[in-house]
Amino acid sequence: MRFGLIGEHLPHSFSKELHEALGRYSYELIELTPSELGPFLRSGSFDGVNVTIPYKEAVIQYLDALSPRAAAIGAVNTIVRRDGRLFGDNTDFGGLQGLIRRSGIVLSGKKVLILGTGGTSKTALAVAAAEGAGTVLRVSRGGRDGALSYETAYSEHADAQIVINATPVGMYPKTDAVPADLSRFSALEGVVDVIYNPLRTRLCQMAAARGVPAAGGLYMLVAQAMLAAEQFSGTAVPDPEYERIYRELLNRKRSLVLIGMPGSGKTTVGKLLAERLGLPFVDADEAIVRRAGRSIPEIFAQDGEAGFRALETETLRELCAAGGQVLATGGGAVLREENRALLRQNGLLIWLDRPLEQLVPTGDRPLGDSFEKLRALYEQRRPIYAAAADVIIPNAGNVEPALNAILKQFAPP
């Protein structure tokens, strides 16, 4: 084994496909228990590895030398074997710094709260200092190691301007979790979350809902990997490669989610879109029918709308865990806040906006089997679609203009 990633639980890591996208070497995922860490590092069976949770600090005792940056931070995420000796570095620094600068979030002179006290929080502390932050404070549940408790942060530092989440809270599969209550910070200007799976954590979604710029960790993942790849291969990675690989990874992990009224063309456009992009197409209503073993009219007749909506949420929770698909939702899927949060995790919400006069009632839609019902739904839901959508695509006739408008914006480069 030449290169890879070591950590405790790695089934959902993006690192293998990310490194291999450069075409320079093969890359493996190596899950290690704490007792296996030392023997593995002493084995001499690798040329270079990246390090993730929970070993960024634990590996240091096994290394022969550290870069000045890794030594100053006290955490290592990249190990290279040189002439039989293990050299540790921290490319997370460059990755996080690159993410912050790319997002346009400015730390200079600002009060910054860093959530967490682990290895990644130490990197965030160093980056904040390098970016000229005014006051930098770490926050943890226990308030240990010089960190504030969350209650102290809320009561004494409500004027914090930047929050950086350096904890795994909110990471897949526990995507409902949120590390902090952003509503307690009245002067918030930016949120950075190092988590990249899901693409938009609940923390980032909550920031966006308040109009606060928020950045998830996918670009940090790419940038730190490219910096590590330079050490693994001994060859620089050109700047355009960073953006190319980031875009390719984003397009593989992000879903295009079609929302809109019944009869607005979500299924028709969705199937064509999936075919053009080479992605799987998923119809949420069909998934609900398979799950229930009953048709939608039968579900409404037997369980009522409340029963259907509960089943819809369960189905969306399962569907939205995966990215890289075109997902057509039912007309009422975005009515629930819980559903909107699920869809946004790994999805870009596209509202197909068809004029009311072009919507056609059908008998298989209990809430839209007459034009009068459709009109009432349209008036009720239109502002909800508008608020939920990341982008609005008119679909007033032939599907080709709508399809091409989506492809123009979101097709891979």
Is the fold of 3-89+224-237 the same as that of 94-216?
Answer: yes
Cα 59 to Cα 52, 245, 264: the distances in Å are 10, 28, 55
Quick check: 87 and 110 in contact, CB under 8 A?
A: no
Q: How many CA atoms lie within 13 A of 303 on its CB side?
A: 15
Residue 351, by phi and psi: left (phi above 0), alpha (psi -120 to 50) or beta?
beta
Residues of the chain with pLDDT under 50: none
Catalytic residues: 56
User: What architecture does CATH give domain 3-89+224-237?
Assistant: 3-Layer(aba) Sandwich (3.40)
Alpha-carbon dihedral sign for residues 260, 261, 262, 263: negative
DSSP, residue by residue, 202-267: HHHHHHHHTT--EE-SHHHHHHHHHHHHHHHHSSPPPHHHHHHHHHHHHHHH-EEEEE-STTSSHH
Reported as a single tens digit per residue, the pLDDT across 67-119 is 999 999 999 999 999 999 999 999 999 999 999 999 999 999 999 999 999 88
pLDDT for the residue 368: 62
Q: Which pLDDT value is given to residue 300? A: 92
Q: What CATH architecture is 94-216?
A: 3-Layer(aba) Sandwich (3.40)
Q: For the chain, give every domain's residue range.
A: 3-89+224-237, 94-216, 254-410
**pLDDT digit string (tens) for 294-313?**
999 999 999 999 999 999 99
The structure tokens listed for 25 are 């070497």
**Topology of domain 254-410, CATH:** Rossmann fold (3.40.50)
pLDDT at 142: 84
Q: Quick one: pLDDT at residue 374?
A: 85
Contact criterion met (CB below 8 Å) for 14 and 219: no
